[in-house]
Chain A
Amino acid sequence: MSLEINDLHFSYGEREVLDGVSFKLKEGSLVCLLGANGSGKSTLFSCILQFLPKYDGSIKLNGADLSSLSTKERAKLIAYIPQSHIPVFNFTCLEVVLMATQSNGSIFYIPDEAAQEAARDALYRVGLEGFEERGYARISGGERQLVLIARALAQGSKYLIMDEPTSSLDYGNQMRILSMVRKLTDDGYTVFLSTHHPDQALLFSDEVILLHEGHIMSQGRADEVLSSENLSLIYGLDVEVVPLMGGKMFTCIPTQVLKES
């Protein structure tokens, strides 16, 4: 049971964005994907989720090639949690979560009691009791992100792909969302998320994958992969990773910026 990517190539016209990407995700782990802007993080996610089906190479989940599955079958295996955004129409939180439950229904599916129950459970799981009838467009950004996580849980797939889930959130909400996601891996979920904050990877991840100019630069435990040299290289900036609290934790300091100021 794992997500396995083998020699993945993808180009937008002449520009090769992914140039031979191969890696394997362990089931039940939280894996952070780091890389500079334009390094191919979003493209990689889009290929895995088959939004960009014209890639070379193979993407297998539990041995099954994701490109050969139907949209419906794929949705049962893998869920996508986008960055939260305010929708045009103000659905209630329960309605938003319910949307993911249709993947197990017929063409003329209308959610039944069981689906309603599953959606409510998912909302409780992310700590949003009492939010069922509240308008999704009117809650805070952090709460919207939680609703989207609940929606992925209601979908029933065990692999979650999150595209920069904390990018528009304040510090408190970033930590709350990531702790929530961390706990999900204890229940057997595998989470693959992209982030621009090495500190988040150092705090929460089981594994880190560094994507640099279209290929995997390094994969492994955060404190090994996120070395001062690696971070300086991918972000093009002198960065130093320093131990805190006697080596229990690490954080990174942009030394170049410190020197300049």
Chain B
Amino acid sequence: METQSRNNYRTIILALTVSLTALFLISLVLGRYPLTLSEIGRLILSKITDIEQTWPDSAEAIFFNVRLPRVGLAVLVGAALSVSGAAYQGMFRNPLVSSDIVGASSGAAFGAALGILLGAGGSMISMSAFLFSSLSVALVYMISRILRQNQVLGLVLSGIMIGSIFNAGTSFLKLMADPNDQLPQITFWLMGSLNGKTLEELFYGAILILIGLLPLMGLRWKMNLLTMDEKEAQAMGVAVGPLRLIVIVCATLLTATSIAVSGMIGWVSLVIPHFSRLLVGSDFRRLLPASMLMGSCFLLIVDNISRLAFTAEIPLGIITSLVGAPFYLYLLLSRRSRMNL
């Protein structure tokens, strides 16, 4: 049976990898200005060696400045949100939490709104969102240490408190914002979008997300022990405190980076780990890779709907909520998940 489930896992991972590759290529091709795979191949080749230009200049601009950053970030952000969601769910021993539980998204929203209000440009807004997101989580962590009670409960309580303070701050900034241009910009940012991303943002996003992802992937077996009672884990030889801190830092880096580049995209970090658990079980050895691949596939599909389905772009957060919420209800109602959260 053990070998059978291992084979199942391999099949699932293989299927997800193939789907992701296919979706990635399809997403690069599709668009208001369609490109062909051979054009894309030659465009990439032209950056490495000298080949004769057989494509219009506009194709090159669209591919490198618009489509590649957007599609690449969809893959990265989908993976980052799902992995951080799975990590938080394990750490808080609660399958109903998502990556905004420790105040990362409230902080990011405040930072972005502040950046927009001060008239900053795109990458400065992302930077501000990232800084305030990290600040918010750092505050939550420090307050939970002062509370000195059950550490998990302490984190949840201080997360609610800090989150509420930053939410109040964001509301105040919206009140201050110019209703003609700044307020719509803040509102649009809060709904999440991958529109207008640059190669530079893809580059920095990729670095930060890899820094968050790799330690979690390495520690994914030990993350199983965080789902157990703290005393049990300690008696099994795990230094729970340091391990939890590393997981919080990495998961927060993933969340903060995702929100900073794409705004608020709800539900991915909640639903994808859930769905992955139904496919490969609760063991983080399998859950984390499966969540990562599935999150990338999901966000690519959603982003394609967002940019292609209608003439005007629909913010990502709206689609993920529209798709995610009913899906989540279905998961909760299905017999299997009721016993197998």
Which residues of chain B are within 8 angstroms of A253 by Cβ–Cβ distance? Answer: none
Set A78, A80, A91: member contacting B232, Cβ < 8 A: A80
Return chain A residues, CB-CB under 8 Å to B224. 91, 95, 99
| A92 within 8 Å of B (CB atoms) | yes
CB distance from B242 to the nearest CB of A (A): 10
Give the chain A neighbours of B90 by CB distance below 8 A: 89
- Taking the complex as formed, is B185 at the interface, i.e. its CB lies under 8 A from any CB of chain A? no
Q: Given A82-B229, A87-B227, A103-B236 in contact, is the A92-B218 Cβ separation under 8 Å?
A: no
Contact status B283-A92, CB under 8 Å: yes
**Contact among B221, B231, B341 for A82, CB-based, below 8 A:** B231
With A89-B277, A102-B225: A95-B282 Cβ-Cβ less than 8 Å = yes
Bound state CA distance, A91 and B226, in angstroms? 13
**B333 an interface residue at 8 Å Cβ cutoff?**
no
- CA A238 – CA B224 in complex, angstroms? 48
Which residues of the other chain, B, contact A85 by a CB distance below 8 angstroms? 229
Among B93, B234, B283, which residue has its beta carbon within 8 angstroms of that of A88? B93
Tell me whether B51 is interfacial, beta carbon within 8 Å: no
How far is it, in angstroms, between the C-alpha of A74 and the C-alpha of B236 when the chains are bound?
Answer: 9
Tell whether B5 is near chain A: CB-to-CB under 8 Å.
yes
Tally of B interface residues using CB under 8 Å:
33
Check if B95 is an interface residue, CB within 8 A of chain A.
yes
A138→B340 CA distance, assembly (Å): 9
Is residue B329 contacting chain A, with contact meaning CB distance below 8 A? no
- Contact in complex: A137, B339 (CB < 8 Å): yes
Tell me whether B124 is interfacial, beta carbon within 8 Å: no
Instruction: State whether the Cβ of B239 lies closer than 8 Å to any Cβ in chain A.
Output: yes
How many Å lie between the Cα of A72 and that of B239 in the bound state? Answer: 8
Report yes or no: B2 in contact with A132, Cβ–Cβ below 8 A. yes
- Name the A residues within 8 Å of B231 (CB-CB): 46, 49, 51, 80, 82
Shortest A155–chain B CB gap in Å is: 6
Give chain A nearest CB distance to B85 CB in angstroms: 14
B228 within 8 A of partner (CB): yes
What's the Cα separation between A74 and B239 when bound, in Å?
Answer: 11
Contact of B285 with A by CB under 8 A: yes
Binding stretch for chain B, among A23-31, A104-112, A187-195:
A104-112
Q: How distant is A156 from chain B, measured CB to nearest CB, in Å?
A: 10
Q: If the complex has contacts A51-B231, A102-B225, are A72 and B218 also in contact, measured as CB distance less than 8 A?
A: no
Does A75 have its Cβ within 8 Å of any Cβ on chain B? yes
Contact string against A for B residues 300-341, beta-carbon threshold 8 Å, 1 for contact and 0 otherwise? 000000000000000000000000000000000000000111
- With most chain A CB atoms within 10 A of its CB, the pick from B94, B220, B232 is B232
Question: Least Cβ distance of A154 to chain B in Å?
Answer: 10
What are the interface flags for A207-230 relative to B under an 8 Å C-beta threshold, 1 for contact and 0 otherwise?
A: 000000000000000000000000
Q: B220-254 interface mask toward A, CB cutoff 8 Å, 1 = contact, 0 = none? A: 11101101110110111111000000000000000
Please, which residue of chain B has its CB at the minimum distance from the CB of A72? B237
User: Is A125 part of the binding interface, using a Cβ–Cβ cutoff of 8 Å?
Assistant: no
Q: Say whether B30 faces chain A, with CB atoms less than 8 Å apart.
A: no
**Interface residues in B1-50 (C-beta closer than 8 Å to A):** 1-2, 5
Would you list which residues of chain A between 101 and 139 have a CB under 8 Å from chain B? 102-103, 107-111, 116, 132-133, 135, 137-138
CB distance from A171 to the nearest CB of B (A): 26
The residue on A at minimum CB distance from B219 is A108
A100 to B5, CA, bound (A): 21
Bound-complex Cα distance A91 to B95 (A): 13
When chains A and B are docked, how far (Å) is the Cα of A20 from the Cα of B31? 77
Our pick among A72, A103, A133 for the contact of B1 (Cβ within 8 Å) is A133
Is there a chain A Cβ closer than 8 Å to B281's Cβ?
yes
- The residue of chain B having its C-beta at the shortest distance from the C-beta of A130 within the complex is B1
Interface residues of A (CB under 8 A from B): 46, 49-51, 70-72, 74-76, 78-80, 82, 85, 87-92, 94-95, 99-100, 102-103, 107-111, 116, 132-133, 135, 137-138, 151, 155
B-side residues, CB < 8 A to A, are: 1-2, 5, 90, 93-95, 218-222, 224-225, 227-229, 231-232, 234-239, 277, 281-283, 285, 339-341
